[in-house]
Structure 1
Amino acid sequence: MQFNPRYPTLSPKLFHHQQPVPLKGAKSGHFNEALANQLNWSEEDKQSWIEICSGQKTFAEFEPLAMVYAGHQFGQWAGQLGDGRGLLIAQILDRNNQTIDLHLKGAGSTPYSRMGDGRAVLRSTIREYLAGHALNNLGVPSSHSVGFTSSEQGVQREKLERGAMLLRTSDCHIRLGHFEWINQYQSELLPEFTQKCIEWHYPECLEAEQPILAFAHKVIQRTAVMIAKWQLVGFAHGVMNTDNLNITGSTLDFGPYGFMERFRPNWINNHSDHHARYTYQQQPSIGHWNLWNWLNNLAPLRPENYEKEQWKEALTECLEHYEPTFLEHYKLGLSQKMGLPSFHKDSFDCAMAFLRILQTEQLDYTQSFIRLQNKKYEVIKDDCLDRRQFESFLSQYEHIRQGQDIVELNAAMQTANPVYILRNHMMQKAIELAEKNDFSEVERLFTLLSQPFKKQVKFETSADLQPLPSDVPEVMVSCSS
């Protein structure tokens, strides 16, 4: 590995150095060799992956650390938070010369653990491992994982479960909540911290007339694009607290997430979300709310040539780009999924009509687009109670496509509509087998989700292509991990 330790150069008030505490009897879970190669891991590193991914081996070039940050959780100020069970164990350069964080989850308690034990259990570790893999291969910016290890050591949650560790990678672990913590507790650190964020992640902003405003605009833009991509693949994060969004617009912190199956935009995938704050349909507006809170933390960085109100207006103008950026990418992506020309004045209305049918008829989000792509119109109509509503949509759909470059539109559909998503019941089966030391289903799903846009008869099962029957209870997921 080629190390590039950047975060430790910041004020020591922002982190706490400590070594991971390995679990007893660590054993292989799953290893992502392709990602290890992308990260320039040597053969020696790959041979030692179990030791690295279980906290037994750290590096002389980087002293592990836990970050401190704060955040708003479910819309309420939560005060000081931080890495309560994770450690940044290295920052390295990948094959593209990009700095990547290696972050070990389940590594033991830290000063920021509050009442937690600093551990992770096998089920949540598998969920995060597969989620990052799935999103990356769907083209959605996300953290990834080199591998995870399991253990015979018990971890107490609602019941005693098997402990595990995950080595997560990300282009950035600096969260919106870092700025909230600094402003609340160490405001003198804000200028240097922000400057480093710009240098490390948005160096092009240094050339702007007002680098802070350029930085804010970039963070807002990337977050809007990320959330648009979530919506297009039917992904619901479940816990969009300000400490769970980073400054580079890549998905971070997988808890009770879910991929949409039957199209229910108000589906609560986190059973702790009693007020439905973080449902699929709320994600765009919550992203806006989080960024509005974050921008308030940039107010103290007002340049000398700006009046207070003028600076506030300038920051507000940055946020005004959020909605059009989101809509631009969402509308374009939806047109591609539908096989409609994005420039046509009626394409978006037609797409919305299709989504209303999916919602009314409770049809599967992913497979309905695949059926549309494969022109299985009768199959969709047969699943509809209101067949006339579908016929009306189909008439408009075919009218818009008439005279267009159908080959080009169909090619766009094939790159925009995954055959496979990570359904909760798929993961549950993998978890249940893994808890019996059988990781074959993890391996199968990992392989299947490596190419989600390609039909893979050799690896798929019928359960991969459809939601559970309506009379079978959904797999419920909690924040417990």
Structure 2
Amino acid sequence: MTIHIPFDNSYARLPDRFFTRLAPTPVRAPALLRVNEALAHALGIDPKALGTPEGVAVLAGNAVPPGAEPLAQAYAGHQFGGWSPQLGDGRAILLGEVVGRDGIRRDIQLKGAGRTPYSRMGDGRAWLGPVLREYLMSEAMHALGIPTTRALAAVTTGEIVLRERPLPGAVLARVAQSHIRVGTFQFFASRQDDDALRTLTDHVIARHYPEADTPLDLLDAVIGRQAALVARWMGVGFIHGVMNTDNTAISGETIDYGPCAFIDTYHPETVYSSIDHYGRYAYNRQPDILVWNLAQFATCLLPLIEGDRAQAIEAATEAVHGFAPRFQTEWTQVFRRKLGLATAEDGDAALAHGLLEAMAAGRADFTLTFRGLADGSAAAAFADPAPYHAWEGGWIARLAREGATPETRATALAAANPAIHPRNHRIEEAIAAAVDGDLDPFERLLATLAHPFETTPDARRLGHPPAPGDEVRQTFCGT
């Protein structure tokens, strides 16, 4: 069966200094793990063709399909606040772009496809664990309605990757509206390459923000999308783990699932990432870090903003300062829905914060607390329910002012609060089984996460908090 991917590669038509053209490095013995059939269909690709030997060869990087123009993108970035003037795709190859059945243009990228000029000391490969983790996490985020990159397919390579120990190699085929980052703009701004900045800005406006007429409009639009994105992260207890500027996508999608995690027992300063030693990217710091990242983006655009430099700085600063009220609005809307509120009152944000404070004091499970609001079981998610009971009366009084029936309210609460998220210990179980050749735990978890708002037997089992001793307190970067 011939594989046909309808490529239309706009990024490859940009100047050569935006990337390095090279093909993926072939692997020894590629084998298919999984194809995301629904996503393939949405992209206009026959999923059955992806499962053939020819398709697996493409997914592994052993063959370049007709119409592809493989390349590794150049970018820079601040990593944990430290400046790196050149990063780039060190283990990923952009095969090309397709315009899906919905009219949206998306990249298809192979992650773990071999060394590139941006690999530095890395081997350009990925091992099976991070590939499966990103597959699970990104598809879970999609099912939760949160903008994200997605997983098209995963293959094993038949090769060993050396990390702390020998591990099975794998490649993830990842899909995104683009892989352009704040760090992409920083790459050219740091080189004072204003022509490239203009070209990149025009490309991003045409691709993602056609309503924007100026670079300042672009900045404002990116701020709006990022405010909405991180508010949604907060609403599900998601911690990105490495919110570096090179991991902040201009499209407003969640990108680069490394040591990310969802909170089990809630605390605002929760950190899982093994490399975040000082809590820079803790749950409650994510909005502040996003402001910092957006300020770096604004700085890149200064040469393009109308007026002299002082006027440009003033306009960009005003735009970045506008993030806080926009984020607060988005956050309040997210948590208002999570509390089952259909109308708006001034005290709603304080009511939501009050529940979070009670959860921290009572050592409550994040997901089960909010899900339990629908059926009256929220207190059971607390190790100490006293703080919840002290808060509950104010919530009940607020609900009473809306006049909704209990049935209507329960339905709204169940639609806003998932019954399951990808818990760390379940992901680790799935990875360990897959390393031993058993994909069933991965498949069952993936299938359950695809319907996160349904209370099924698998959702109850897989969504249950870890037992004492089973907690996964650290997550690790896939490199």
Q: In structure 2, the residue corresponding to 1:80 is in which secondary structure?
A: coil
What is the correspondence of 1:294-305 to structure 2 with a 5 Å cutoff? 294-303=297-306
Q: For 2:426 and 2:245, locate their aligned partners in 1 and report how far apart those are by CA, in whole Å.
A: 29
> Could you tell me whether the CA contact under 8 Å between 2:336 and 2:352 is conserved in 1?
yes
The answer to whether the 8 Å contact 2:71/2:95 transfers is: yes
Q: 2:111 aligns with which of 105, 110, 118?
A: 105
8 A Cα contact 2:96 2:107, kept in partner: yes
**Map of 1:219-234 to 2, 5 A cutoff?**
219-234=222-237
Match of 1:205 in 2: 212
- Mapped contact 2:41–2:47 kept (Cα < 8 A): no
Structure-1 residue corresponding to 2:147: 141
Tell me the C-alpha RMSD between the 2 structures: 1.6
**Partners of 1:176 and 1:413 in 2: CA distance:** 36
The count of corresponding residues between Structure 1 and Structure 2 is 470
1:193 to partner: Cα distance? 1.7
Residues 350, 397 of structure 1: 8 Å contact kept: yes
SS at match of 1:218: helix
* Structure 1 match to 2:270: 267
Structure 1, gaps ≥5 residues long: none
CA–CA distance in 2 between the matches of 1:4 and 1:122? Answer: 30
Instruction: Output the CA distance in 2 between the equivalents of 1:97 and 1:375.
Output: 43
The reply on whether 1:420 has 2:420 as its aligned counterpart is: yes
Aligned position for 1:40: 44
Q: Using the alignment, how far apart are the partners of 1:61 and 1:471 within structure 2?
A: 51
Structure 2 partner of 1:191? 198
Q: Which one of 56, 63, 67 corresponds to residue 69 of structure 2?
A: 63
Structure 1 residues 61 and 472, CA gap change in structure 2 (3 angstroms): closer
What is the correspondence of 1:36-435 to structure 2 with a 5 Å cutoff? 36-42=40-46, 45-48=49-52, 49-185=55-191, 187=193, 188-206=195-213, 211-303=214-306, 306-376=307-377, 379=380, 383-385=382-384, 387=386, 389-407=387-405, 408-435=408-435
Task: Specify the SS of the correspondent of 1:134.
Answer: helix
Q: Which amino acid aligns with 2:150?
A: H
Cα separation, 2, equivalents of 1:101 and 1:80: 22
Q: Per the alignment, do residues 102 and 377 of structure 1 end up closer, same or farther by CA in structure 2, a change over 3 Å counting? A: closer
- Structure 2 counterpart of 1:262, one-letter code: T
Question: Judging changes above 3 Å, is the alpha-carbon distance between structure 1 residues 357 and 102 closer, same or farther for their aligned structure 2 residues?
Answer: same
Judged with a 3 Å threshold, the aligned counterparts in structure 2 of structure 1 residues 226 and 11 are, in CA distance, closer, same or farther, namely same
1:46 and 1:115 map into 2 onto residues whose CA distance is 32
Deviation readout 1:334-392 (Å, 9 max, x if unpaired) = 01111134412332222222111111111100001111111225635xx45362x3333
Identify the residue that residue 446 of structure 1 maps to in structure 2.
446
Distance 2:172 2:142 in 1: 17
CA contact (8 A) 1:341 1:401 kept: no
Deviation at 1:475, TM superposition (A): 4.6
Shift of 1:216: 0.7
Question: Aligned in 2, Cα 1:226/1:55: closer, same or farther, shift over 3 Å?
Answer: same
SS in structure 1 of the partner of residue 117 of structure 2: coil
Partners in 2 of 1:338 and 1:87 — Cα distance?
A: 43
Deviates more, 1:43-52 or 1:243-252: 43-52
Aligned equivalents of 1:396 and 1:473: distance in 2? 33
Structure-1 residue corresponding to 2:476: 478
On the 8 A contact 2:448/2:459 being kept in 1, the answer is yes
The Cα of 1:236 is off from its aligned counterpart by: 0.2
Check conservation: 1:339, 1:412, Cα contact below 8 A. yes
Q: Secondary structure at the match of 1:129?
A: helix
Q: Distance in 1 between matches of 2:47 and 2:391?
A: 56
Amino acid paired to 2:437: N
TM-score (norm 1): 0.94
Distance 1:98 1:319 in 2: 28
3-state SS, counterpart of residue 97 of structure 2: strand
The SS at the match of 1:161 is strand
Give the superposition deviation at 1:302: 3.2
The separation in 2 between residues aligned to 1:460 and 1:281, in whole angstroms, is 27
Checking the alignment, whether the CA contact within 8 Å between 1:331 and 1:342 is kept in structure 2 is no
**Does the 8 A contact of 2:228 with 2:327 survive in 1?**
yes
| Equivalent position amino acid for 1:351 in 2 | A
- Kept in 2: contact 1:332–1:342 (CA 8 A): no
CA distance in structure 1 between the aligned counterparts of 2:296 and 2:350, rounded to whole angstroms:
32
Q: Report SS of the residue matched to 2:85.
A: strand
Runs (5+) with no aligned partner, structure 2: none
Structure 1: distance between partners of 2:354 and 2:197: 47
* TM-score of the aligned structures, taking structure 2 as reference length: 0.94
| Cα distance in 1 between the residues matched to 2:470 and 2:440 | 25
Query: What is the rounded CA distance, in whole Å, between the counterparts of 1:410 and 1:436 in structure 2?
Result: 42
What secondary structure, in the 3-state scheme, does the structure 1 residue paired with 2:158 have? strand
Task: State the alpha-carbon separation in 2 of the partners of residues 256 and 217 from structure 1.
Answer: 29
1:17 aligns with 2:21: yes
1:141-184 residue CA offsets vs partner (Å, 9 max, x unmatched):
00001110113310111111110000000001000001111112
Paired residues of 1:344 and 1:400 also in contact (CA < 8 A): no
What amino acid sits opposite 2:442 in the alignment? V
Q: Tell me if structure 2 keeps the 8 A contact 1:30–1:443.
A: no
Q: Is the 8 A contact 1:125 1:166 kept in 2?
A: yes
Answer whether contact 1:23 1:163 (CA < 8 A) is retained: no
Whole-angstrom distance in 2 between the partners of 1:22 and 1:6: 25
Give the match's secondary structure for 1:23.
coil
Q: Determine helix, strand or coil for the equivalent of 1:100.
A: strand
- Rounded to whole Å, the distance in 1 between the matches of 2:379 and 2:70 is 58
1:461 to partner: Cα distance: 5.6
Code of the aligned partner of 1:4 = D
Aligned amino acid, residue 13 of structure 2: T
